[in-house]
Structure formats: structure tokens, C-alpha cells
Amino acid sequence: MENKSLLPHLFRTEYSKITAVLCKRFGLAHMEIAEDIASDTFLQASESWPQQGLPENPAAWLYTVAKHKTLNYLRRNRLFAEKISPALRQQQAGDVFEIDLSGPNIADSQLQMMFAVCHPCIPPEAQVGLALRVLCGFGIEEIADAFLSNKETINKRLFRAREKLRTENVGMECPPPELLTARLSRVLTTLYLLFNKGYYSAHQNGAIRRDLCGEAMRLTHLLVQHGPTDLPPVNALLALMSFQTSRFDARFDDMGHAVRYDDQDESLWDMKLIAQGHYFMERASRGTELSRYHLEAGIAYWHTIKANTTEKWENVLQLYNRLLILEYSPIAALNRTYALSKTAGPEAAIAEAEKLGLEGSLGYHSLLGELYMTVQVQQARHHLEKALSLATAAGDKALLTKKIASLSA
């Protein structure tokens, strides 16, 4: 890796580790101090490395500097030292302070941070933002980009979330067995939203979209590697992410424009990720529990089979039927109509789609425009033009303009 890209890469991978370990040591009430120490560590690296050259082990250098900065902070800030635990004060008094940045402690700290960030006291949007900051090492500008927002809004959102953790006295710990199912459900929801923030984002920066998906998968891997959370829904979610990400490169052309599923270049699909999806799907089949992630992973699996067969779309349709019974959503109902068009024809799909009445939805008008193409050209044009008026991303606008032009042809 080139020197100029090494530090940003290390910030993404190591910042969250240092922050999580310090939060575990100091408590979540002092999260901002942990973040400041981690940020100062990287600031020193950015100033030192260009002049003195790269250390032999950059990550170990960062850990050493973080330890020294933490000890210096404790020495000069008596007010903070008085608030921390008696055990920590005793260590500090003897000038013996260790940050355990071993692999197992980092994994434990990040798991505990995951449950803290996804605490019920924090709203879902704030959970995703806080996860991006303290679990994924995203900068404020990157988070603002991911949310198509601005730095001021994101800073306020993160401040309120940190304050909530402090006032609610949320601890850094994995929940006890009797609370694990409910708390894990919230964690999975946050990871699912984080993944979707990247996969379905209208953002034009493909690197940010891919990073969002990659971080969601990395955090889900942590859950799978931890015995108590290595449960079927977790494996099903990781299978879903693997299947979806396998088609990432085929979903946009060289200009960043969206590519219809039927037009995707199958050679761009990642076969290793598809195989990974199969592996975690098999692990998810243990027991009798059936979650939304199982059903969505099944749908995503069938989309990794390019053949346009009746068997494929019948299976997708039945999976959508079960998903809507288990957990209804208008978007899932709309996506179901595409599968219905493949099995029962466009007229049947149009009738079902129009019942949804999602007049303000880009996806609704875009899908109806496509379904009407072989049924009634004027209606197809009406819906595609409506979709174009709702589109904000350049890629969506380009695809819709191309469809409208094809009607004239």
C-alpha cells in the first residue's frame, strides 16, 4: 500500500479499535475523551511519519503512542482521574497504565461497543451515525456524505447520542443471556440499515458506498465469531450481505449510472462472495428460527442466478409472500410485484403495484413505467417521466432518460 494511502487506511481500521478499548476502560460517559486521544494519535502520525519515515510496524506505533497519550492525559487532568474507577486510579497513581490492545480484547471491546451504540435509548438514525464514527472510523465529512447531509447536522446528532449514553448510564458490556435476543435484534437492525445505506445509496461516490457495505459485513463477522451471538439470524444477515455485495460492481457502469438487473454483466459478479453467502446460509439453517434475514438472503441468493427461469421467479415470489406475512413493508410489497410480473405477466403485476399507491416513490413510478412498456406506452411514459421528476441521483436520471428515449424508438 502506498504511503499516502496507508494512514487513511489505518485510521479506518485502527481508530475504532483504540476508541473501543479506551471506552471499555474509562466508561462510555467519557467517549469523547477516548475519541480525542485516538484522533490525537493519528494527528501525531500525520506530522511525524512524513519527516521521520514509516515505522516498521505502523499499527504497533499507533498503539504505543495512544498508551502514552492516555497516561499523559491522566497525569495532567486530575478532574478526570477523580471520576474514573478506583482500580484505574490505583494503577495511575503508580504510573502503571496499560491499554490491552491484544486481538481478543479489541474484539471484545468492539462487540461491547456495538451493543452500547445500539442501545434502545438511541434513535435508529443516530445509532447508524454513531456506529460509523466509533465502530467504523468514518470521519464527520464521510458520515455527512453517507447521509447526504452536512457536518453540523451530523455533529449535533452524534453529540445527542453520546449525551444519551451518558445520562442513561449505559455500560460497556454484552447483555446477559435473558436480554441477548432483544438487544441483538437491535444490533442486527442497525447493521442492516448500515449495509443498506451503502448498497442502496444514491451517493455518487462508489468508494463510500462500498466502504459502508464492507464495514457492515466486518461488524457482522464479529458477531458470528463470538459464541453467544453466533446465531442463525446473524448468519442469515451475513449471507444476505454476501449475496448482495457479490453483484456490487455490476450494478453501475463506468459512468456511475445504474444498470438494470436484467442488463448486468454476470462476469463482474464476485464468485467468492457468492460462495461465502452459501456458507453462511447453510449455517443460518440450524434450528427452526426463520427471520426476515433468512427470507431476504433467499431472495438475494436467487438473484445470483442469472437464468431467467420460471422456477427462479416462483421461488422469489414465494419468499416475498412469506416476508410480507412475517414483516410487512411497502418496499418489499413493491419489489414482490417485479417477481410477479415474471411469473404471471405485467398486467397482474401492474394491478398489484397500483394497489400500493406509493405516488411519492421513485421506485414505484420507475417499476410501473417498466411494467407498462409492453402494455400501454403512454402510461409507461407517464410513470417514467414522473420517476424522472423525483430522481436526484445522476445515475437514476440517466437510466430513466434512456428508458424514455427507448419508448420513442
Could you report the per-residue pLDDT of 359-399, keeping only the tens digit for each? 999 999 999 999 999 999 999 999 999 999 999 877 788 88
Q: Which pLDDT belongs to residue 97?
A: 55
- Joined grid coordinates for residue 218: 466486518
Q: How far apart are CA 317 and CA 338, in angstroms?
A: 9
**What is the residue extent of each domain of the chain?**
1-101, 330-409
For residue 252, list its beta bridge partners: 258
Are 131 and 216 in contact by the 8 Å Cβ rule? The answer is no
pLDDT tens sequence across 243-294: 999 999 998 888 777 788 888 999 999 999 999 999 999 999 998 999 999 9
- Angle at CA of residue 220, ends 248 and 26, nearest 5°: 130
- The Cα 331–Cα 349 span in angstroms is 14
Phi and psi angles of residue 258, each rounded to the nearest 5 degrees, phi first = -65, 145
Q: Are 18 and 63 in contact (CB under 8 A)?
A: yes
- Residue 79 pLDDT level (bands cut at 50, 70, 90): low
The span from the CA of 111 to the CA of 105, in Å, is 10
Average pLDDT over the chain, rounded to whole? 89
Q: 190: how many CB neighbours lie within 10 A of its CB?
A: 23
Asked whether 111 and 229 are in contact (CB, 8 A), the reply is yes
* CATH tag, 330-409: 1.25.40.10
Determine the angle formed by the axes of helices 58-76 and 31-52, rounding to 10 degrees.
130
